[in-house]
């Protein structure tokens, strides 16, 4: 089934916008050597709204790469990062990663997060009164690497650790 002219125009528009935020890191080396993957960084502004955090603004980036020595069939690895600051003086740094090693025999997934997060707490349930409001704050660090080995075509098995540290609780 082929795409309609409207769908094609919309796809081209999205691709043009995406290209404006995409930067090659090693374009010249990749053009000279076909075995080198063209690593890229995609940047984008981030804006969010949620009642608990109000308005948040920041920047997001995604690093797209292949580890040295991987075959062309190996999927592209990625390292997304985002930094966000809200009108409630909340700071959030999030990073996840998915790294595919040669021929996808191994997969490294995980996250690294930090947040400084003051917020209002009203109690349990959705019908709490405003006079129950309590201000709380905490800092949080999360480190979560996971190494997986492919055992079948699309089946990976492995393990990892999860380190979650909450401190400066007020």
**Number of continuous H segments (helices) and E segments (strands) in the chain:** 2, 11
How many structural domains are present in the chain? 1
Containing structural domain, residue 147: 5-167
Q: Look at residue 36 in the predicted model and tell me its pLDDT.
A: 79
Segment 92-104 shows an average pLDDT of 93
Looking at the chain, the whole-number percentage of residues with pLDDT higher than 70 is 93
Q: Look at residue 3 in the predicted model and tell me its pLDDT.
A: 66
Average pLDDT in the chain: 87
| 19 pLDDT higher than 70 | yes
Q: Look at residue 153 in the predicted model and tell me its pLDDT.
A: 87
Question: Residue 45 half-sphere exposure, CB side, CA atoms within 13 Å?
Answer: 5
In the 8-state DSSP scheme, what is residue 102? G
| 1 pLDDT higher than 60 | no
């Amino acid at each position: 089934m082929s795409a309609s002219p409207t769908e094609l125009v919309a796809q081209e528009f999205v691709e043009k916008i995406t290209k404006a935020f995409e930067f090659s890191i090693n374009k010249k080396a990749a053009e000279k050597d076909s075995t080198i993957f063209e690593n890229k960084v995609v940047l984008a502004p981030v804006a969010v709204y949620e009642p608990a955090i109000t308005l948040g603004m920041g920047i997001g980036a995604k690093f797209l790469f292949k580890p040295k020595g991987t075959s062309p069939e190996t999927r592209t690895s990625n390292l997304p990062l985002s930094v966000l600051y809200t009108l409630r003086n909340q700071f959030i740094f999030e990073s996840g990663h998915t790294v595919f090693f040669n021929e996808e025999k191994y997969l490294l997934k995980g996250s690294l997060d930090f947040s400084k997060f003051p917020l209002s707490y009203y109690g349990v349930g959705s019908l709490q009164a405003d006079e129950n409001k309590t201000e709380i704050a905490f800092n949080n660090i999360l480190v979560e690497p996971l190494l997986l080995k492919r055992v079948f075509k699309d089946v990976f098995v492995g393990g990892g650790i999860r380190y979650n540290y909450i401190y400066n609780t007020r």
